[in-house]
Amino acid sequence: MKRFLLFYCLCISFFVCSQTISGVVVSEEDHPISKVLIVNMSSNQKVYTDNFGNFSIAGKMGDELRFAKEKYKGERIKTNNDLLKVILQQLPQEIEEVKIVNKSISHSKEEELRTAIGLPKGPEKPREKPADAVDDIVKPLIRIPPMVNVQAIYDVVSGKSKRLRRFYKYEDLQEGLAWIQNNIDIEYFEEAGISPEKFNDFLMFSLKDEKVLMYMKAKNIGGLTVSLDNHIGAYLKRIGKK
């Protein structure tokens, strides 16, 4: 009888420990969403939904699951059954004005990346445009009739244009970092091993990835979370935690 009870307890323990939580992730229109990042905060296990929005992840009742996907608002759910239906709310996207642009600009690396990940261009700030040696000096000179832009020549030669670009880059970075701090789920990264005092350092490390930078500029929290998640392992290895 004792052996039977011991065997029974072991079976129950094995069942509890090996429980799987499954479900599907859909949009508000009930369309399945693929490639959604799902993290079990109790075990830090990560999976992605398949092409039909389905997922399975090891866990137990009461575990907290978090969901992140580009263009969607993040979601967190405490599991109360082993079959879930999770609805992600799509973030509003700005419709970009159609413009005729120079071919070399439209095929620049930044433009290609922005198009590839489906991000709209952020609104332009009312800033003084730094003079450009080619666009504002050389091109006007080869027109018919030629034009001399004295102010542009002064701005380029004096270094004013370069200082303005540097300042705008710094200003955008600080604004972006502040936005991330106010909107990202810091607890998620803390539980992954990145302490709050190391979070800014982690951000600077991750921002070397142009995709992370693009999501920050577009203020896309879902895409940013997924992209930052891809850099956790490399960062922990760099600071000697793995």
CATH label of the domain that carries residue 39: 2.60.40.1120
Question: pLDDT at position 7, please?
Answer: 45
Total domains present in the chain: 2
Residue bearing the bigger pLDDT, 7 or 203 = 203
235 touches 206 (CB < 8 A): yes
Residue 153 falls inside a structural domain: no
**What phi and psi values does residue 46 have, to the nearest 5 degrees?**
-125, 140
Q: Of 37-46, 104-113, 167-176, 205-214, give the lowest mean pLDDT range.
A: 104-113
41: Cβ–Cβ under 8 A, 6 or more apart, which residues?
Answer: 63, 64, 65, 66, 188, 191
pLDDT band at residue 98, thresholds of 50, 70 and 90? very low
All residues at 6 or more sequence positions from 107 whose CB lies less than 8 Å from its CB, including other chains: none
Question: What is the enclosing helix (H) or strand (E) of 23?
Answer: strand 20-27
How many Å apart are CA 92 and CA 182, to the nearest integer? 19
Query: Residue 123: its pLDDT value, please?
Result: 57
Boundaries of domain holding 109: 103-124+159-238
Does the pLDDT value for residue 1 go beyond 70? no
pTM of the entire predicted model: 0.57
pLDDT at 215 over 50: yes
Q: Are residues 107 and 65 in the same domain?
A: no
More confident residue, 178 or 241: 178
Regarding whether 80 and 186 lie in a shared domain, the answer is no
Question: Do residues 107 and 78 both lie within one domain?
Answer: no
Task: Give the whole-angstrom CA distance, residue 125 versus residue 120.
Answer: 15
Most confident of 101-105, 122-126, 133-137: 133-137
